[in-house]
Amino acid sequence: MIKGNLYCCLFLNEPQLQNFIMKELHVHLDGAIKPETILYFGKKRGIQLPANTVSGLLQHISYNKPLTLTQFLDKFAHYMPAIAGDRDAVRRVAYEFVGMKAREGIIYVEVRYSPHLLANCKVDPIPWGQKEGDLTPDEVVHLVNQGLQDGERDFHIKARSILCCMRHMPNWSSEVVELCKKYHNNSVVAIDLAGDELLKAETDQGHRKAYEEAERCGIHRTVHAGEVGPPSVIKEAVSLLKAERIGHGYHVMNDPVLYKELLDKRMHFETCPWSSNLTGACDPDFKKHPIIQFRKDQANYSLNTDDPLIFNSTIDTDYKIAKKYMNFTEEEFKRVNINAAQASFLPEREKNELLNKLYEAYGMAPNKS
Ligand SMILES: O=c1[nH]cnc2c1ncn2[C@@H]1O[C@H](CO)[C@@H](O)[C@H]1O
């Protein structure tokens, strides 16, 4: 019997959903750290944090009224110095992440992060004002893999990772793709491009080359595009970077021709409702949200948290929004999770295993494909 009790509070009167199980494809590891862990490592390492209690820290890090994407991205600087550059911290954050997701009722998660932003050696510039140390991006990936694998063993769910290139750091991207190759299917399943997409009109050559190499080597590809940026960023992600999934992608709606083309292609959109409100990506009125159009068109999309530490949320927050403001039914929640499973970057056999688990849990016919 597959367990997952997230829906207890969401569908109190619908007991058939109390064992609802889910998949999550778009969540940032460094945006999903327990505040207690930040405080612990801050204290242990003598690193100054904006507060020394959980509620005090959350007052600085998390928020509940829309900012801009750039203002949101600035939040990481409040706490990343406590974690980056520390082997125990990196491994523990990954381990705890799996536990957190298991408790939310997630059975499969793809978690993403930038190895460079957690390193303090062989990274230029060294992030977060750290002094040079001896933790390289390569070892960061190794430590995260260990944390995720320990978490899988202890919490009985599946966790894979996606390595992020950062828009403002094209010089890191060639190493990101090399790390994807080195750790391919040892937890790492894909490459991503994250950060501020309004930074430059065109995607930098460094990112393009990395994505070319990823495609050449059979590394799966997703790209943050059309979150706050125009449809042209999505177009570029698909045609130039050969993205197989789009992170967010809400602004595809501003280009009906592109939207139609991506619908026909069954492009997967990793949507994050609560995040899209707090980053100012979408109209704060959820009743006007692009997800409503995705649902009407039976588009291929999933529901995700993005950065639950900063948005003070769990997957439940996003599902509640979908239910309350977007009229989601049980059928649509099931469809969204099946979409997520089909769009996952797992090898075919593992993907089918997971799909079959979902079909069984949802009382649907097993996958014959
Ligand atoms: O919603 C988002 N849009 C774009 N970039 C993001 C978002 N959330 C987090 N990051 C960026 O991705 C890095 C690696 O995990 C984070 O450090 C943050 O800079």
Burial class from Cβ neighbours inside 10 Å (0-12, 13-18, 19+) for residue 93 reads: buried
CA distance 291 to 362: 23
Low-confidence ranges of the chain (pLDDT < 50): 1-18, 368-369
Report the nearest atom of ligand 1 relative to the CA of 30.
Answer: 15
What per-residue confidence (pLDDT) applies to 273? 98
Report the nearest atom of ligand 1 relative to the CA of 275.
Answer: 1
Q: Is 307 in the pocket of ligand 1 (CB under 6 A)?
A: yes
CA distance 216 to 329: 40
CA distance 293 to 323: 15
Q: Is 140 in the pocket of ligand 1 (CB under 6 A)?
A: no
What per-residue confidence (pLDDT) applies to 10? 29
Angle CA 29–89–99, to nearest 5: 55
Looking at residue 316, its amino acid is D
Q: Which of 96, 197, 227, 236 is catalytic?
A: 227
Mutate to test the pocket of ligand 1, among 73, 113, 192 (most ligand atoms within 8 A of CB): 73
Q: Is 112 in the pocket of ligand 1 (CB under 6 A)?
A: yes
Q: Nearest C-alpha to atom 9 of ligand 1 is from which residue?
A: 28
Kindly report, residue by residue over 254-290, the tens digit of the pLDDT: 999 999 999 999 999 999 999 999 999 999 999 999 9
Q: Is 276 in the pocket of ligand 1 (CB under 6 A)?
A: no
Q: Is 279 in the pocket of ligand 1 (CB under 6 A)?
A: yes
Q: What is the dihedral of CA 314, 319, 325, 330, to 10 degrees?
A: -170
**Which run of H or of E encompasses 98?**
helix 87-103
The domains located in the chain, with CATH, are 22-360 (3.20.20.140)
Q: Is 250 in the pocket of ligand 1 (CB under 6 A)?
A: no
Q: Is 73 in the pocket of ligand 1 (CB under 6 A)?
A: yes
What per-residue confidence (pLDDT) applies to 60? 96
Task: Name beta bridge partners: 110.
Answer: 160
Q: Is 277 in the pocket of ligand 1 (CB under 6 A)?
A: no
Mutate to test the pocket of ligand 1, among 224, 275, 318 (most ligand atoms within 8 A of CB): 224
What per-residue confidence (pLDDT) applies to 24? 94
Query: Token pair for residue 183?
Result: 């750790």
Report the nearest atom of ligand 1 relative to the CA of 117.
Answer: 17
What per-residue confidence (pLDDT) applies to 81? 98
What is the Å distance from ligand 1's center to 235 Cα? 20
Kindly report, residue by residue over 324-346, the tens digit of the pLDDT: 999 999 999 999 999 999 999 99
Looking at residue 129, its amino acid is G
What is the Å distance from ligand 1's center to 366 Cα? 36
Instruction: Verify whether residue 227 is a known catalytic residue.
Output: yes
Task: List all residues 6 or more positions away from 247 whose beta carbon is below 8 Å from its beta carbon.
Answer: 26, 192, 194, 222, 223, 224, 225, 227, 270
Query: Token pair for residue 249?
Result: 């992608």
Q: Residue with structure tokens 């040892």?
A: 186
User: Which of helix, strand or coil describes residue 106?
Assistant: strand
Kindly report, residue by residue over 20-66, the tens digit of the pLDDT: 788 899 999 999 999 999 999 999 999 999 999 999 999 999 999 99
CA distance 259 to 246: 12
Query: Token pair for residue 325?
Result: 């403001």
Phi first, then psi: what are they for 330, rounded to 5°? -55, -40
What is the Å distance from ligand 1's center to 211 Cα? 18
Handedness of CA 357, 360, 364, 368 (dihedral sign): positive
